[in-house]
Amino acid sequence: MAAPMSYKGSNTTMIDLSQHYSKIDTSYALTAKDALGLKLFQAKGEGYKLTGEEFYYLRRLHRINAVESQTNLWLFLGAGIMDVKKNNRSDDQAYVSPTIQADYETRRLYIMGSYQLMRVAHDNFDTSKFKAGFSFYKTSYEETQPWFILEFSHTNSVSEKLEIVPTLRLINKALYFEAGISTAGDPKLHLMYTF
């Protein structure tokens, strides 16, 4: 998962679409380490339907640059309002949601893990994610680089099962595209553009 920030003064827009989760967010990089953003999202499953609006702050806590690799540690701090629908009952709730994320990548390998703490009233919607994959070959910045990524994710209360999604990722300059289909047969799309 690429964090929504690249260089000072940049804007990044991301869209996620799947059967159980949809999101659009946009962010502005205040510095090379800090960004502010807005996010709209919807999630559903196991009798729940969640609809939310969130303001977030992103901070790159640490980066290790090596000759052939990069390692990052990120902190997301989100706050917003979520409409929680369960069994035909609806309730708007304010929430605060921190997320910690770590990633490691080379021009051929990628590994990422994250944990989002999301508690709304008496409900636990914490989300854990892990991604790992490889690129098929090295490319220059001007060329499109294809990757194979295997994603594992789970959201408490919304799903009892671990979601596993084999994904094809394409990166070309500031454009980032992913398309996959879960082992349960659900398609998933992700698009990110930085300008």
Share of the chain above pLDDT 90, in %: 78
162 DSSP assignment: P
Note the pLDDT tens digit of each residue in 56-113.
999 999 999 998 899 999 999 999 999 999 887 888 999 999 999 999 999 999 999 9
**Whole-number Å distance between alpha carbons of 44 and 42:** 7
- Of 37-41, 83-87, 167-171, which gets the smallest average pLDDT? 83-87
170 DSSP assignment: E
- Which domains does the chain show, CATH number per domain? 11-194 (2.40.160.40)
At residue 3, the pLDDT reads 45
Q: Which two tokens stand for residue 95?
A: 């929430």
At residue 5, the pLDDT reads 52
First to last CA, the chain: 18
pTM (2 d.p.): 0.89
At residue 141, the pLDDT reads 79
Q: What is the mean pLDDT of the chain?
A: 92
Q: For the purposes of burial, counting CB atoms within 10 Å of the CB of 168, is it exposed (0-12), middle (13-18) or buried (19 or more)?
A: middle
At residue 121, the pLDDT reads 83
Phi-psi domain of 88 (left: phi exceeds 0; alpha: psi -120 through 50; beta: other): left
At residue 46, the pLDDT reads 84
**Whole-number Å distance between alpha carbons of 36 and 33:** 11
At residue 91, the pLDDT reads 87
Confidence of residue 2 (pLDDT cuts 50, 70, 90): very low
Q: Which of 155, 92, 83 is CA-nearest to residue 125?
A: 155
Bridging pattern class, strands 145-155 and 163-172:
antiparallel
